[in-house]
Amino acid sequence: MITFLAVSLPHISLFLLIALLYILPVVFFIYWMVKMLKNSNENLKLTKEILERLKS
Q: Counting Cβ atoms within 10 Å, is residue 1 exposed (0-12), middle (13-18) or buried (19+)?
A: exposed
* Prediction pTM value: 0.59
Per-residue pLDDT of the chain in tens (56 residues, 90 and over written 9): 455 555 565 667 888 888 888 899 999 999 999 999 999 989 999 999 999 999 87
In a domain? residue 8? no
In a domain? residue 7? no
d(CA 8, CA 12): 6
Range of the domain at 54: 23-56
In a domain? residue 33? yes
In a domain? residue 2? no
In a domain? residue 1? no
> Which amino acid makes up residue 34?
V
In a domain? residue 42? yes
Report how many domains make up the chain: 1
